[in-house]
Amino acid sequence: MKNKNLLIAIASVIIGLGIGYLLAETSSGESSADHLHDSHEASWTCSMHPQIMATEAGSCPICGMDLIKADGDGAMSNTQIKLSENAMQLADIQTYVVSSTDAENEKGVIELSGSIEINSKNKLTQAAHIDARIEQIYINTLGERVVKNQKLASLYAPELIAAQQELLTASSLKELQPELYNAVRTKLKNWKLSDVQIDAIESSQTLIETFTVYADVSGIVTKINAKTGDYVKKGQSLFEVSDLSTVWAVFDAYENQVGAFELGQNIEVKTQAFPRETFMAKVSFIDPIFDQQSRTLEVRAEIRNTNGMLKPGMFAMAAIEGMTEDTETLKIPESAVLWTGKRSIVYVKPSEEAVFELREIIIGTLNNGQYEVYGGLRLGEEIVINGSFTVDAAAQLQAKPSMMSLKEENISQRIDLSDGFDAYFHPFFDAYFDLKDALVASNRDLAQGAADRAQNSMQKAVRKQGLDQQNKAYFEGLSEQLAQIKSQTDLEKQRDVFRLVSEEVISLAKGIKDTDANYYVQYCPMANNNKGANWLSTERLIANPYYGDMMLRCGKVTDSIVADKP
């Protein structure tokens, strides 16, 4: 009986071990299959070109670097980060869909604050024309209105009395010595005595003991520099009288608003004193020098002050129409932009999931709390406008690219083109060099035409080669940059986008094989707001496309690209 029980126990153990082994095999098989399935579905990306997504490991088709495993959750690239719903709520993440403004139908408006000031062209200093003592001041109150030829003060001048005695003596000899007589009269005229006064002295043979100062213009007394009993020197200021029939509205414009102003531009000015009144003004002066402390410059507009409503010192507000273009301009809120010191970035939400992608953009003028965007975003994309710093902080904690880790220098990667592909790009490079030459010549229209040819030739090369979707994504980005140049009517904006195009062209040039041409990478440290910018040239001689004739030879050769010979 005991032996029978022992046999049953041993048999049970053996059967259990067998079943366990079978289950382990099944589990192992399922795990292996699942692993193979996950590997097949997994996404791989390039750390330098996150737009590249592949289903298996390999090399980046753009730069040749080994692909890295993208995050499994949502196949995120290296520049993307995912936040939990709880984190989204705590950070109060808010997003905005990128919109545009049709410049033909709607003009951007810049609002400025400033003050009403005296038009210095209409300000006159009433000065003493001779050394004298002030006998009496007839104007004692600032702001008092005077009219032309009104008495302002009377002066006692010993020199004037002596000159009158000379006049009386010379008048008796004017037939014999007319030159002496005329010289004495001229002296008195220089001391602002009128012909009527001089004739009265001569005819009455009576000396004028005090000299009266009359207002040269009508206006408001804005400064009194003397009082009764003071001794004054020739040329010393006694009063300042200002004609307020026209006044200035003076505003401080920030650096990124400069492109919106031009001389003769019409603006609307309002004041706190008269909120329901609108005063039309015309820009008469734009300061050519920035204030180094505030990074602003003065914009001055002249206003006709017919009714005298505007008083110097009043606060003023202005609405200035921005420059118009024949293209749609993308607009994003100011709060969306993060600054890395030399770059501006945003976080894009590419899908419905709580995934955010770091994106560098090119921005222009700030108008009413919105930046114009010239590169890096597309119409309809969703971006973070509140909570961007929280998203960036999360990226830093996960050791992903963030505003703190972005490098400032531009590093061009090599893009190896497949055999035969580079031959199709010869027309593209020709058009690029035409674009560069057009910017050297500061010719906006030629630059637009060259950008159009470059875009068309590149698109033809891509179609002829039959690239896969991954490679097409790279060239589509370059095509968008060329389209920006083609559509821009502002030369400086063309040059700004040309900087990005040049980085990609340098990358392409490094991958060219079947050409005899040598290219030179050239660099200007002052371009791009002193951040520096590269471009490609067929000649070693510097011809700067970012400044043209202003600084034609500014730059240096930093690299040369010699074609690989078979």
Identify the pLDDT of residue 63.
57
The C-alpha atoms of residue 516 and residue 512 are separated, in whole angstroms, by: 10
Instruction: Tell me the pLDDT band of 433, cut-offs 50, 70 and 90.
Output: very high
Identify the pLDDT of residue 534.
92
In this predicted structure, the answer to whether residue 498 has a pLDDT above a threshold of 90 is: yes
CA geometry: angle 43, 47, 48, nearest 5 deg: 130
Higher pLDDT, 381 or 372: 381
The C-alpha atoms of residue 480 and residue 361 are separated, in whole angstroms, by: 13
CA within 13 Å, CB half, 82: 13
Instruction: Tell me the pLDDT band of 1, cut-offs 50, 70 and 90.
Output: very low
Identify the pLDDT of residue 474.
60
Identify the pLDDT of residue 405.
64
Lowest mean pLDDT among 35-44, 99-108, 169-178, 412-421: 35-44
In this predicted structure, the answer to whether residue 532 has a pLDDT above a threshold of 50 is: yes
Give the mean model confidence (pLDDT) for residues 40-49. Answer: 54
The C-alpha atoms of residue 222 and residue 230 are separated, in whole angstroms, by: 19
**Partners of 362 in beta bridges:** 375
In this predicted structure, the answer to whether residue 132 has a pLDDT above a threshold of 80 is: yes
Q: Which fold has domain 109-119+244-321?
A: Elongation Factor Tu (Ef-tu); domain 3 (2.40.30)
Region of 118 please: left (phi>0), alpha (psi -120 to 50) or beta.
beta
Instruction: Tell me the pLDDT band of 79, cut-offs 50, 70 and 90.
Output: confident
Give the mean model confidence (pLDDT) for residues 81-88. Answer: 79
422-446 core/surface letters (b: 16 or more CB in 10 A; e: else):
bebbeebbebbbbbbbbbbebebee
Any idea what DSSP says for residue 424?
G
The C-alpha atoms of residue 74 and residue 470 are separated, in whole angstroms, by: 18
Helices (H), 42-95: 85-91
Identify the pLDDT of residue 106.
47
Report pLDDT digits (tens) over 275-332.
888 899 999 998 888 776 666 788 999 999 888 889 888 999 887 765 544 446 788 9
Any idea what DSSP says for residue 157?
-
Instruction: Tell me the pLDDT band of 249, cut-offs 50, 70 and 90.
Output: very high
Lowest mean pLDDT among 61-65, 363-367, 543-547: 61-65
Identify the pLDDT of residue 436.
95
Give the mean model confidence (pLDDT) for residues 105-111. Answer: 58
Lowest mean pLDDT among 27-31, 195-199, 506-510, 519-523: 27-31
Identify the pLDDT of residue 68.
65
542 CB-near residues (< 8 Å, 6+ apart): 522, 552, 553, 554, 555, 556, 557
* Among 163-177, 202-216, 383-397, 429-443, the range of highest mean pLDDT: 429-443
**Partners of 304 in beta bridges:** 246
Structure token pair of residue 322: 């921005």
Instruction: Tell me the pLDDT band of 15, cut-offs 50, 70 and 90.
Output: very low
The C-alpha atoms of residue 287 and residue 258 are separated, in whole angstroms, by: 10
* Top-level class of domain 80-96+336-397: mainly beta
The residue among 220, 202, 170 whose CA lies nearest residue 194 is 202
Identify the pLDDT of residue 322.
56
Instruction: Tell me the pLDDT band of 446, cut-offs 50, 70 and 90.
Output: very high
3-state secondary structure of 61: coil
Lowest mean pLDDT among 53-62, 190-199, 379-388, 439-448: 53-62
Query: What dihedral do alpha carbons 187, 193, 196, 201 form, nearest 10°?
Result: -70
The C-alpha atoms of residue 82 and residue 73 are separated, in whole angstroms, by: 8
Instruction: Tell me the pLDDT band of 440, cut-offs 50, 70 and 90.
Output: very high
Report pLDDT digits (tens) over 501-514.
898 888 778 766 55
Structure token pair of residue 525: 């440290």
Instruction: Tell me the pLDDT band of 111, cut-offs 50, 70 and 90.
Output: confident
Mean predicted lDDT score pLDDT of the chain = 76
What proportion of the chain, given as a percentage, has pLDDT over 90? 13
Identify the pLDDT of residue 421.
52
133 CB-near residues (< 8 Å, 6+ apart): 155, 156, 157, 229, 230, 231, 232
Higher pLDDT, 171 or 432: 432
Identify the pLDDT of residue 467.
53
What proportion of the chain, given as a percentage, has pLDDT over 70? 74
Structure token pair of residue 352: 């419905």
Output the CA–CA distances (angstroms, integers) from residue 7 to 12, 19, 21, 280, in the order listed: 9, 18, 21, 111
Give the mean model confidence (pLDDT) for residues 62-68. Answer: 63
3-state secondary structure of 152: strand
In this predicted structure, the answer to whether residue 457 has a pLDDT above a threshold of 90 is: no
Identify the pLDDT of residue 473.
53
DSSP state letters, 362-422: EEEEEETTEEEEEES--TT-EEEEESHHHHHHHHHHTT---TTT--SS--PPP-PPPTTTG
In this predicted structure, the answer to whether residue 140 has a pLDDT above a threshold of 60 is: yes
In this predicted structure, the answer to whether residue 407 has a pLDDT above a threshold of 50 is: no
* Among 7-11, 41-45, 209-213, 237-241, the range of highest mean pLDDT: 237-241
The C-alpha atoms of residue 69 and residue 41 are separated, in whole angstroms, by: 11
Give the mean model confidence (pLDDT) for residues 250-254. Answer: 86
Q: Tell me: domain 121-242, CATH 1.20.120.1200, correct?
A: no
CB-based contact 438:446 (threshold 8 Å): yes
